[in-house]
Structure 1
Amino acid sequence: MMSKLQTNRSYFYLLLADRIFVVLLFLFLFFGLLRTRTGIFVVVLFFLYQAVMLAVFCVRFLGPLREIEKISEMIAQPERHMADLEGGRPIHRLIQYVKQSVENEYTSQMLASQAEIHALQSQINPHFLYNTLDTIRSMAIIRDSEDIAQMAESLSMLFRYSISRPGEMATLKDELDNVKNYLVIQGYRFPGKFKYQQRIEDEELLQYKLPVLTIQPVIENAIHHGLETKVGGGQVSVYAYSTQERFIIRIADNGMGMTEQQMDSLRERLSKGRFIYEQDRDLKKRGNTGIALPNVNQRIKFYYGDDYGIKVYSTAGIGTIVEIILPAAADSKGGES
């Protein structure tokens, strides 16, 4: 490119010198030869020569200007020049690159705008839900419907906990309070269907911090898959204790349990650790709700590493035990508060 510019510059200087020489020659000829036929012929040749040189000048210098103008038009309106852009010339590839960069920038701005809209919607919708539930609760209290008021309050607190704190850490006490709100609702759905027991080895463990929504999905899984279809009453319990290396939350139910085939399928999914998003999405599309345990497992591994997660023990017709294995209190991300 630089050599081409230098060549054009040299050509321009030569052309300028030629023009000066020609003008001087013209003045000499014009006054000396114009009176003769030969002189007139020379003057005509002079003008023809000037016309040819002007044409050469236009081709050499105005041509690139037109090319630049065409390139500018291609960049501004690439859709009108698709046939030209299909070539392999470097300038065409540059135009395609510029066009793609503009489209990418536009797409990024659109995605950012959509994200802002979704963020606003996620703020508006929960508040509308909370206000509606609070209104239902107030109406129930006025009409002396204590059960409806309690159910509306538990549902409101359940939603506040799950929606307002995505991705955060919570204390064990917060997690257990959330479980109790969930069980209030399930208790009204299935009156007398199951009992709940809770035991914490040390009160200080209530301040242990763990990912939000670690325990409630496991409790929900136990009720939905283990106790809902069980004939007669059932029981689900939570026991939390600590060792030197681990903090363990054991959730047990005496529900339907799982067959060996079901356990093999679950173990396979749990062994995939952090890489089950696509599989879970497919299961949701097919209406399969058995995704709580793998999801809890992968979130724990995301926070703490592959040495932690959940273990499942189950026997068909007897029940299921799920152990949530976390780092010892001093090693957890949240530590003790």
Structure 2
Amino acid sequence: MLFRKDFKFSILTKLIFAFLLVITPLYGLNLMMNKEGALSVNKEISKSMASQTDFYLSSLETEISRTVSLQKELINQKNLVRLSAVGDAMTDYERSQAILTVLNQMNVIRSTGSFIQSVSVYIPIIRRTLTTGSSPIDSLSEEDFEILFQSSMKSDSPIIQWKEGMLSTVVYPPMQLPNQKSPVFMISVDFSFAKIKESLLHFIDYARGGAMIVHPNWTIANFKALNPIDRQTLVQTLVGESGIKRIELDREKFMTVRNRSGLLDAYLVILVPENEIFGTLIKYKYWFWLLCGISIVIILFFSFWIYRFIHQPLHKLVRSFRQLEDGNLQVTIIQNRNDEFDYLYKQFNAMVEKLRITLREVYEQKIRAQRSKLKQLQSQINPHFLYNSFFILNEMVQKYDDEQLDQFSGNLGKYFQYITRNAMDHATLETEVDHVRAYTYIQQTRFSKRLRVFFGELPDAIKPMRVPRIILQPIVENAFRYGMDQKLAGGILHISFVEQDDVVVLKVEDNGEMLEDAQLLQLQQQLIHYTDGMESTGIINIHHRLQIMYGSGAGIRLSRSEYGGLSVEIRIMKEGGYHVQDHDRGR
């Protein structure tokens, strides 16, 4: 995880998302335009191919129709009528002249059509066939004549298949007379399959595919690179209604256009490979996907560039700020850059250094304030205690009580030695308690007839614990001053020590009778709502010092004691105040 959970999206994610948000609609629009263009071109190509088939078929039908019309005009040629009627009775010269005239007319018919191989006239009476071929006059094959005659009479179409082509035949008379077994003559025009096939080849200019004319009885086909099996499959598949159809031959897709000729009773079929028709569109499609792939690579490179040159340095800076938030003031960003992040890193390091200096100054200021508080507390020691101590010492000297004098003077020395050691802000709890024992001995010597002091046992585990100096003695002094000063006899002062899980409690209780509930409540409120502007007493001063060093869990707690007087609890945390202790060790 690059960032913490409160960062739902990193800047890198947002930048990539924004980039995709901008580029995706453009690619979508481009793809849609590409598809629409492909459909439009596909439609236009299909219409163009359909138009080509219509034009070719119309041209072929027009030529055949014109040829049939010329055939019918040839019927009325008088020389042809004379040859078919009295040709055997004509002189050779007359017959030759008539034949030449008919042949000239037949050559005119032949020259009008590009697909006409030859024009022939079958004349049974002279047993000859006039033709525009290499031999103008051939012998008539009665068998062929009969086949042609019967085929022409049976077919509704003017076109019949004959050998290597197709024939357009006209019989005269058009209907058989009752006693007529054969026609007077028959005109046929031979349309060459080879020429039609060649025209189909020129009709479609593609490397594969081609065109064909399919009749129930015959087929003219011209295909490039198409095997016979595929041709047969094509013929079986495409005969049917006119229209455009897509098929697959030999794992290759083709587009076919079919158009029916009513004159020929046949279909014209065009077969074109789709990859040749739409090759350019397919190439554009490939270019489009190549562009998409290149764009993805660019996006990935751009994302990596952002990650490398923006995201990583920014993440390093954010991570350093997180460490700083966690209290690590030793964090430093090592930079080796020549951009804006170099300035940010330097400013961050300078900020952390200034923060360390500022915190050090704050700590030192707090320590000086604590020392000031301590000195203020020490200055609050009633000088009357010093005077009274010397008066007691004078009385004891006058009585020559050597043993008591020795103990008294020793405790008095310990007391002033501890008080005057201003250089130390902390001491062990054992030392602080010994100081209070010396103080209570001195006071008990003075008030020996009026009070008794009970000291609880200090647990060994907390004896080495370091605590602020002079926090217990002012509390005990307060008990002597306000709790026992007016008590002539039966005074009790109880000092105990309690060790809990995370706190040590020093408890001072007395049985003074001067404390009223209103006074107790007022003292409690002063501890809770203490401010720097308020006049501080010894108890408030100590409470404030402890909270500065150990936090809100430490301090003074006031309540009514079980002996009837005031109960003061000094709460000191076992862990805390490390900056103060570290400072002492540095001294």
What TM-score does the superposition give when structure 1 sets the normalisation length?
Answer: 0.49
What TM-score does the superposition give when structure 2 sets the normalisation length?
Answer: 0.29
Considering fraction of residues, name the structure with more strand. 2
| Larger Rg computed on CA atoms | 2
Indicate the structure whose relative CO is greater, using CA pairs within 8 Å and at least 6 residues apart: 1
Considering fraction of residues, name the structure with more helix. 1
